[in-house]
Amino acid sequence: MAIKSGEKVKIVTVNRRATHDYHIDERVEAGLVLTGTEIKSIREGRINLREGYARVSDGEAWLTNVHIAPYEHGNRYNHEPLRDRKLLLHRGEIDSLIGKVRQKGYTLVPLQVYLKNGKAKVELGLGRGKREYDKREAIARREGQREIERGMRERERERDR
Protein backbone atom coordinates (compact mmCIF):
# COMPACT_ATOMS: atom_id res chain seq x y z
CA MET A 1 0.00 0.00 0.00
CA ALA A 2 1.62 3.21 -1.19
CA ILE A 3 0.37 6.26 0.67
CA LYS A 4 0.63 9.60 -1.09
CA SER A 5 0.66 12.89 0.76
CA GLY A 6 -2.78 14.21 1.59
CA GLU A 7 -4.41 10.77 1.65
CA LYS A 8 -6.34 9.67 4.71
CA VAL A 9 -5.83 5.98 5.40
CA LYS A 10 -7.43 4.03 8.24
CA ILE A 11 -6.56 0.35 8.53
CA VAL A 12 -9.73 -1.55 9.43
CA THR A 13 -8.40 -5.10 9.74
CA VAL A 14 -5.23 -7.07 9.09
CA ASN A 15 -5.04 -10.76 8.21
CA ARG A 16 -2.11 -11.90 10.37
CA ARG A 17 -2.81 -15.51 9.50
CA ALA A 18 -1.92 -14.83 5.85
CA THR A 19 1.72 -14.01 6.57
CA HIS A 20 1.90 -17.04 8.88
CA ASP A 21 0.53 -19.46 6.26
CA TYR A 22 1.97 -17.96 3.04
CA HIS A 23 5.16 -16.51 1.58
CA ILE A 24 3.86 -13.23 0.12
CA ASP A 25 5.67 -12.46 -3.15
CA GLU A 26 3.66 -9.53 -4.48
CA ARG A 27 1.03 -7.09 -3.19
CA VAL A 28 -1.82 -5.44 -5.11
CA GLU A 29 -4.39 -2.85 -4.03
CA ALA A 30 -7.98 -3.38 -5.19
CA GLY A 31 -11.23 -1.55 -4.64
CA LEU A 32 -14.35 -3.34 -3.40
CA VAL A 33 -17.89 -3.22 -4.76
CA LEU A 34 -20.06 -3.01 -1.63
CA THR A 35 -23.63 -2.28 -0.65
CA GLY A 36 -24.55 0.50 1.76
CA THR A 37 -24.85 -1.67 4.83
CA GLU A 38 -21.56 -3.44 4.06
CA ILE A 39 -19.50 -0.23 4.03
CA LYS A 40 -21.17 0.89 7.25
CA SER A 41 -20.28 -2.40 8.89
CA ILE A 42 -16.68 -2.17 7.61
CA ARG A 43 -16.34 1.34 9.03
CA GLU A 44 -17.27 -0.18 12.40
CA GLY A 45 -14.48 -2.75 11.92
CA ARG A 46 -16.82 -5.74 11.67
CA ILE A 47 -15.01 -7.70 8.96
CA ASN A 48 -13.09 -10.99 9.15
CA LEU A 49 -10.50 -11.95 6.51
CA ARG A 50 -9.23 -15.15 8.12
CA GLU A 51 -10.73 -17.72 5.71
CA GLY A 52 -10.97 -15.37 2.73
CA TYR A 53 -9.30 -15.61 -0.65
CA ALA A 54 -9.58 -13.99 -4.06
CA ARG A 55 -10.24 -15.75 -7.34
CA VAL A 56 -10.39 -14.72 -10.97
CA SER A 57 -13.21 -16.03 -13.13
CA ASP A 58 -14.54 -14.82 -16.49
CA GLY A 59 -12.04 -11.96 -16.52
CA GLU A 60 -13.26 -10.55 -13.20
CA ALA A 61 -11.71 -10.75 -9.73
CA TRP A 62 -13.86 -11.79 -6.77
CA LEU A 63 -13.28 -11.75 -3.02
CA THR A 64 -14.68 -14.97 -1.58
CA ASN A 65 -15.43 -16.23 1.93
CA VAL A 66 -14.82 -12.89 3.68
CA HIS A 67 -17.29 -12.31 6.49
CA ILE A 68 -18.73 -8.81 6.85
CA ALA A 69 -21.12 -8.81 9.81
CA PRO A 70 -24.66 -7.55 9.16
CA TYR A 71 -25.10 -3.88 10.00
CA GLU A 72 -26.80 -3.61 13.41
CA HIS A 73 -28.99 -0.68 12.43
CA GLY A 74 -29.87 -2.15 9.03
CA ASN A 75 -33.32 -3.18 7.95
CA ARG A 76 -34.67 -6.16 6.03
CA TYR A 77 -32.44 -5.23 3.08
CA ASN A 78 -29.30 -5.97 5.09
CA HIS A 79 -26.53 -7.75 3.17
CA GLU A 80 -25.61 -11.44 3.25
CA PRO A 81 -22.43 -11.80 5.38
CA LEU A 82 -20.49 -14.27 3.20
CA ARG A 83 -21.45 -13.25 -0.34
CA ASP A 84 -18.81 -12.93 -3.06
CA ARG A 85 -17.71 -9.33 -3.63
CA LYS A 86 -16.32 -7.98 -6.87
CA LEU A 87 -12.81 -6.52 -6.80
CA LEU A 88 -12.00 -3.44 -8.84
CA LEU A 89 -8.73 -3.93 -10.72
CA HIS A 90 -7.41 -2.75 -14.07
CA ARG A 91 -7.53 -5.25 -16.94
CA GLY A 92 -3.72 -5.50 -17.04
CA GLU A 93 -3.59 -6.27 -13.32
CA ILE A 94 -6.21 -9.00 -13.67
CA ASP A 95 -4.38 -10.56 -16.63
CA SER A 96 -1.10 -10.47 -14.72
CA LEU A 97 -2.71 -12.11 -11.67
CA ILE A 98 -4.34 -14.82 -13.82
CA GLY A 99 -0.92 -15.79 -15.19
CA LYS A 100 0.69 -15.88 -11.76
CA VAL A 101 -2.15 -17.74 -10.02
CA ARG A 102 -2.04 -20.48 -12.65
CA GLN A 103 1.52 -21.23 -11.56
CA LYS A 104 1.80 -24.10 -9.13
CA GLY A 105 1.05 -23.28 -5.52
CA TYR A 106 0.07 -19.60 -5.83
CA THR A 107 -3.09 -18.11 -4.39
CA LEU A 108 -4.52 -14.62 -3.84
CA VAL A 109 -4.94 -13.85 -0.15
CA PRO A 110 -6.49 -10.70 1.36
CA LEU A 111 -3.85 -9.14 3.64
CA GLN A 112 -5.69 -6.11 4.97
CA VAL A 113 -8.75 -3.93 4.46
CA TYR A 114 -8.45 -0.20 4.87
CA LEU A 115 -10.34 2.99 4.13
CA LYS A 116 -8.48 5.27 1.76
CA ASN A 117 -10.09 8.68 1.31
CA GLY A 118 -13.39 7.16 2.47
CA LYS A 119 -13.34 4.24 0.03
CA ALA A 120 -12.82 0.62 1.09
CA LYS A 121 -9.71 -0.99 -0.36
CA VAL A 122 -8.29 -4.47 0.07
CA GLU A 123 -4.62 -5.33 -0.20
CA LEU A 124 -4.18 -8.69 -1.91
CA GLY A 125 -1.04 -10.75 -1.63
CA LEU A 126 0.15 -13.28 -4.17
CA GLY A 127 1.17 -16.05 -1.81
CA ARG A 128 2.79 -19.44 -1.96
CA GLY A 129 1.81 -21.82 0.86
CA LYS A 130 4.34 -22.37 3.63
CA ARG A 131 5.25 -25.85 4.74
CA GLU A 132 5.05 -26.76 8.42
CA TYR A 133 8.83 -26.58 8.87
CA ASP A 134 8.84 -23.05 7.34
CA LYS A 135 6.35 -21.96 10.00
CA ARG A 136 8.44 -23.48 12.80
CA GLU A 137 11.54 -21.81 11.40
CA ALA A 138 9.82 -18.41 11.35
CA ILE A 139 8.63 -18.86 14.94
CA ALA A 140 12.13 -19.86 16.09
CA ARG A 141 13.64 -16.83 14.32
CA ARG A 142 11.09 -14.51 15.96
CA GLU A 143 11.74 -15.98 19.42
CA GLY A 144 15.50 -15.67 18.91
CA GLN A 145 15.07 -12.00 18.02
CA ARG A 146 13.00 -11.47 21.19
CA GLU A 147 15.75 -13.09 23.29
CA ILE A 148 18.36 -10.77 21.76
CA GLU A 149 16.19 -7.70 22.44
CA ARG A 150 15.49 -8.86 25.99
CA GLY A 151 19.22 -9.31 26.62
CA MET A 152 19.96 -5.85 25.23
CA ARG A 153 17.36 -4.27 27.53
CA GLU A 154 18.76 -6.07 30.58
CA ARG A 155 22.27 -4.97 29.67
CA GLU A 156 21.16 -1.35 29.37
CA ARG A 157 19.43 -1.56 32.78
CA GLU A 158 22.60 -2.93 34.38
CA ARG A 159 24.70 -0.23 32.74
CA ASP A 160 22.35 2.53 34.00
CA ARG A 161 22.59 1.37 37.62
Q: Please state which of the ranges 65-69, 82-86, 137-141 shows the lowest mean pLDDT.
A: 137-141
Instruction: Determine the pLDDT at residue 80.
Output: 78
The average pLDDT across 1-8 equals 68
> What b-and-e string marks burial along 133-142, b requiring 16 or more CB atoms within 10 Å of the CB?
eeeeeeeeee
Domain positions in the chain are: 9-129, 131-161
Q: Which CATH number fits domain 9-129: 1.10.357.10, 2.40.280.10, 3.40.640.10, 3.40.50.11810?
A: 2.40.280.10
- First-to-last alpha carbon distance for the chain, in angstroms, is 44
* Greatest mean pLDDT range, 84-88, 97-101, 131-135: 84-88
pLDDT for residue 74 is more than 90: no
- 11 or 74, which is more confident? 11
The fraction of the chain above a pLDDT of 70, given in percent, is 94
| pLDDT single digits (tens) 116-144 | 888 899 999 988 877 776 678 888 888 88
pLDDT-based confidence at residue 110 (cuts at 50, 70, 90): very high
User: What is the secondary structure of 81-109 as a DSSP string?
Assistant: TT--EEEE--HHHHHHHHHHHTSTTEEEE
Instruction: Determine the pLDDT at residue 88.
Output: 92
pTM for this one? 0.74
Torsional class of 131: left (φ above 0), alpha (ψ -120 to 50), beta (otherwise): beta
pLDDT-based confidence at residue 1 (cuts at 50, 70, 90): low
pLDDT for residue 76 is more than 80: no
| pLDDT single digits (tens) 32-43 | 998 888 888 888
pLDDT for residue 90 is more than 90: yes
The average pLDDT across 72-97 equals 84
Q: How far apart, in whole angstroms, are the C-alpha atoms of residue 83 and residue 131?
A: 30
